[in-house]
Homo-oligomer: A and B are copies of this chain.
């Protein structure tokens, strides 16, 4: 069973049982971000052995499937090319529109380097607004300066 097939199996069981990702994430790893745990169930992060055991209990996974959840995945959740799904495409578009601007402003503030995508965390919030609630994503990554050598 590939990681992709496991993702599909987990998604199907989640759907059939009417579960919510946030509930599942809390049961598997309370205190850990639901983004991180959901990403692991989607084959993008790995769980600890204990967390994987709890995921196996929830989803009725076999030992081999539970093991797979503890392995480092081959990351990348999208097919090649710009994503066709509108929700995901909007994120892609923002990177395309703001890419050079963010590069200029981050380097102006921090110097030559990058925002780490590894020493990184993200949160997702609903911001109430009378004109329509808003989605807020907060990306937070360590600044890594380019090493001179």
Contact = CB atoms under 8 A, between A and B. Distances in A.
A88 B95 contact: yes
Given A39-B97, A82-B82, A98-B77, A121 B143 contact: no
A44 B84 CA distance: 11
A23 to B, nearest CB: 10
Contact of A74 (B15, B76, B85): B85
A44 B93 CA distance: 12
B141 A90 contact: yes
**What is the count of identical protomers in the complex?**
10
A68 B11 CA distance: 11
Interface of A is mostly: mixed
A79 B99 CA distance: 11
Given A88-B100, A98-B77, A113-B118, A124 B140 contact: no
Interface string A98-127: 111111111111101111111111101011
A117 B135 contact: no
A112 to B, nearest CB: 5
Given A71-B15, A76-B97, A126-B110, A103 B87 contact: yes
Given A87-B114, A110-B126, A132-B142, 13 more contacts: A16-B64, A21-B105, A42-B101, A75-B85, A77-B97, A77-B98, A85-B103, A91-B102, A95-B95, A109-B124, A114-B118, A118-B146, A134-B143
